[in-house]
Structure 1
């Protein structure tokens, strides 16, 4: 009797889309994440090969679903836009996110943030920015060779990858687009859109009024010409 060899099978590795942790611990942290995410998404909206994500699990190594981080905001150049449940690097031409932002909350520990920085250092992040809104403190790291080095002066710093400028004022951190426009939150953008729409409406109304006035004047001129002809007077039309 011939005994068949048993085929060894390996269970499929699942890469969860969620780590069970909240996106933000408070409104300040959430607001900063949204401002950075949306402004970077707008900045690169026309480039199909720039992927911007917030709170998305990043798995750098195939076969290891324990090795992961979910940056508050990450930007990856060289991969297409599109929805993803997680960022599995081996499915993205093995391109690691080049820029990462983290916004501190009171619940973050020094050990936790040290582990995150080590992760970003080990797996290829080029620029890492860490902001503490409670202290208005910004720290940045830039890759130099194999390691992320601390950026000595963040006030006035311009991101090599993003082209955005950072300014640290006494009470707040401000970010500027390459064209000099200040990063805006949703409400500010909505206000600007409403102002632009109001200006367009006013311009259209002015054009409509001018068009109507011209039409009335032409009709009056035609009526006057008709009355003159009826009275036997030849109108002097040039």
Structure 2
């Protein structure tokens, strides 16, 4: 649990959890985890890009009630390191992008209070994704901060969105949110795809080793 000492020596606690269980479907939990994983791997070489999600985000010093826990968020200009909580007055950087995976329980807050709060905090881009396509039409929506208000990000003909802050192209594919580098077009692989690619690479290495041994044995004969 994170704390600070005030001049009056009152100890203010900033809990690392709200004590509430995550009441989401397997699909929602999977998407949150996999988006965090994809973004973390994509920005792993960037020392000043921090990716997190479901972390207690405190935005008002001295007020533990001023807290939100974005499903996924990215901050540019802060150290890429593990944190227990995120305190805006210490980091001095608001997220450049926030993703909320919308559900029955969160859809009204995602489009209302959270949207207004993120705009007030200066979050430049805000994305909503409904993996079950039950509540949002279209299921993927993006907003960019213009002044003090969000304006919708225009969709491509296929419904994809461009994140200027992240340099990524986003589109929905069934219950999955797909991401790709907007400059190169290279898709960010999901964890299962990364594992499959690793296995294919290992199989190819073994095939090459066997071929080398075969050629070596043939030359010796």
| TM-score over 0.5 for the pair | yes
Deviation at 1:194, TM superposition (A): 0.2
Matches within 5 A, 1:153-232: 153=155, 155-168=159-172, 173-178=177-182, 179-214=184-219, 216-217=220-221
Is contact 2:56–2:85 with CA below 8 Å preserved after alignment? Answer: yes
* Equivalent-residue separation in structure 2 for 1:156 and 1:212 (angstroms): 54
Deviates more, 1:135-144 or 1:120-129: 135-144
- 1:236 maps to which residue? none
Deviates more, 1:11-20 or 1:110-119: 110-119
Deviation at 1:21, TM superposition (A): 3.0
- 1:226 maps to which residue? none
Matches within 5 A, 1:1-238: 9-23=8-22, 25-92=24-91, 94-111=92-109, 113-135=111-133, 137-153=139-155, 155-168=159-172, 173-178=177-182, 179-214=184-219, 216-217=220-221
Is contact 2:169–2:180 with CA below 8 Å preserved after alignment? Answer: yes
Is contact 1:62–1:90 with CA below 8 Å preserved after alignment? Answer: yes
Deviation at 1:152, TM superposition (A): 3.9
Deviation at 1:169, TM superposition (A): 5.7
Deviates more, 1:165-174 or 1:74-83: 165-174
Structure 1 stretches lacking a partner, 5+ long: 1-7, 218-238
Structure 2 stretches lacking a partner, 5+ long: 1-6
* Equivalent-residue separation in structure 1 for 2:8 and 2:171 (angstroms): 55
* Equivalent-residue separation in structure 1 for 2:95 and 2:142 (angstroms): 16
Deviation at 1:34, TM superposition (A): 1.8
> How many residues get paired?
208
TM-score, normalization by structure 1 = 0.79
* Equivalent-residue separation in structure 1 for 2:59 and 2:97 (angstroms): 15
**Max Rg structure:** 1
Q: Residue 127 and residue 176 in structure 1: after superposition, are their counterparts in 2 closer, same or farther (change >3 A)?
A: same
RMSD over aligned Cα atoms? 2.1
Query: 3-state SS of the aligned residue for 1:64?
Result: coil
Is contact 1:24–1:30 with CA below 8 Å preserved after alignment? Answer: no
